[in-house]
Structure 1
């Protein structure tokens, strides 16, 4: 993946996420911007009762949450589940209103997890590593950090948002942020549910209970090597699924890095790296009976 490709992806994420932010610089959301039937809760700074600290817009399936600096500039916004767990894309801004960090959250087995993050400089260029301890210089927010400070370059690309029942959704996983270092045998794999009718739960809590299918990296999957001559074959994987029925669908899965020994100067026989989760929403059009390759995964 080139820097230009990655910059395009970050800009796309920013544009999607910005649609959620309908507030003005004072933190107020005009009544005209609130959908009919929605409610909101507002908390103010104790030291300044006229300034909004946090605003929560309550929706049917989730809550949209906004935090504000004491100078009325938006600090961060994103979504929370009804149990208070962050999920999806969260945008974080500095005190001048410049987007400086994008975090992608998943809820995994009941716990919120920072899955990927993109760190930006003041020109909004993606940087590999956040050297500053904190750019959110206000006592309420200065410790708002995650457990890593490196931009995650891992990428999931899908061919379409709408497919017919007779074709598969196709995806490509690129692992560009390695968690296993200095091991020539390290590779990735992609795991999804075998059938879309018995999918991963949204928090992957049923991972041990459902049948899955594993897609190997291209150094093993020789059938697709010819399409990726410039890619690291150990860190690229092609995957896909044919759906059982038409309608709105969610494809969930994860990419995992691993390495099997024997290793020099190590007593262990395997190293299991991080999981990077993904979720793809799409629409499958067609009628029952159209899919002659019922439940057959694409490789």
Structure 2
């Protein structure tokens, strides 16, 4: 008669088959880290300052960073959790543990997309949009809030809202944009459905252009071939000539760029 092996025995057998090891490595400034391996695969790294204070705990899964906790002494400063192959969900904290900011970072820990920022009373006071352009981080839109309400005068906004016209047969779009160069600046939007989510291919895409000139109300017709979720990406360009063009004299033209990155559901 063959007896069934208990779950405890199976677990002990599995654990005994896993080969573990630790490696301690030092930086030139005295800081150090300890790597933990299972069957020659890195699963965790604990990083320390030279006096032994904890700096970070990083865990790996399938040879990729899975999550990380960053410390300042004993206090947790920020956390990162893998979202997909290129992005991580992230939170940063005040010294009392309340969240300062939350959003996504890329593999180099640069903020990307929309981030929310809170005061010590857990109230939202700012939203900020980041894009990575030519491998550099750019702070794009900034929205300020007071008592839970958007402060449009202080905010730096470039947004598009979509709605159906009065007949309900087609969509219209409206650009919401705060002119900064001059109230009569010339405004355009450059669109493309080929723009990558990190805006890294801006030099190689073809744009469709919508111009509004100096109009205060910036509306335009929208035609979509199908319903569903759409990624709306493009550039808002504001231009203002400080002086009139006279003969062949070059015009002193001021320009300003803001980037649109929005997900919209159309039905």
User: Shorter-normalised TM-score: what interval?
Assistant: 0.5 to 0.7
Give the deviation of 1:246 after TM superposition.
Answer: 7.7
Does residue 1:75 correspond to 2:94, yes or no? no
Tell me which of 231, 234, 243 is aligned to 1:253: 234
2:25 aligned partner: none
What SS class does the counterpart of residue 233 from structure 1 fall into? coil
| Number of residues of Structure 1 aligned to a counterpart in Structure 2 | 196
Aligned counterparts of 1:154 and 1:246: Cα–Cα separation in 2: 24
| Unpaired stretches in structure 2, ≥5 consecutive residues | 1-64
2:160 aligned partner: 156
Contact in 2 for aligned 1:215/1:239 (Cα 8 Å): no
Q: Which has the larger radius of gyration?
A: 2
Tell me which of 96, 102, 108 is aligned to 2:133: 108
Answer 1 or 2: which has greater strand percent: 2
Does residue 1:55 correspond to 2:36, yes or no? no
The two structures have a TM-score, normalised by structure 2, of 0.61
1:288 aligned partner: none
2:35 aligned partner: none
1:269 aligned partner: 251
Aligned counterparts of 1:247 and 1:215: Cα–Cα separation in 2: 23
2:72 aligned partner: 45
CA RMSD in angstroms, aligned pairs only: 3.3
1:189 aligned partner: 188
The two structures have a TM-score, normalised by structure 1, of 0.55
Give the deviation of 1:205 after TM superposition.
Answer: 3.3
Give the deviation of 1:256 after TM superposition.
Answer: 1.0
Aligned counterparts of 1:241 and 1:207: Cα–Cα separation in 2: 23
Aligned counterparts of 2:108 and 2:171: Cα–Cα separation in 1: 32
What SS class does the counterpart of residue 151 from structure 1 fall into? strand
Aligned counterparts of 1:203 and 1:168: Cα–Cα separation in 2: 30
Deviates more, 1:254-263 or 1:271-280: 254-263
Aligned counterparts of 1:173 and 1:215: Cα–Cα separation in 2: 10
Does residue 1:89 correspond to 2:88, yes or no? no
Contact in 2 for aligned 1:168/1:242 (Cα 8 Å): no
Contact in 2 for aligned 1:190/1:237 (Cα 8 Å): no
1:295 aligned partner: none
With over 3 angstroms needed to count, the CA separation of the structure-2 counterparts of 1:86 and 1:251, relative to structure 1, is same
Give the deviation of 1:116 after TM superposition.
Answer: 1.0
Q: Which runs of 4+ in 1 moved over 6 A?
A: none
Contact in 2 for aligned 1:109/1:203 (Cα 8 Å): no
Does residue 1:178 correspond to 2:179, yes or no? yes
With over 3 angstroms needed to count, the CA separation of the structure-2 counterparts of 1:170 and 1:279, relative to structure 1, is farther
Give the deviation of 1:89 after TM superposition.
Answer: 1.5
| Unpaired stretches in structure 1, ≥5 consecutive residues | 1-37, 130-149, 161-166, 220-231, 286-299
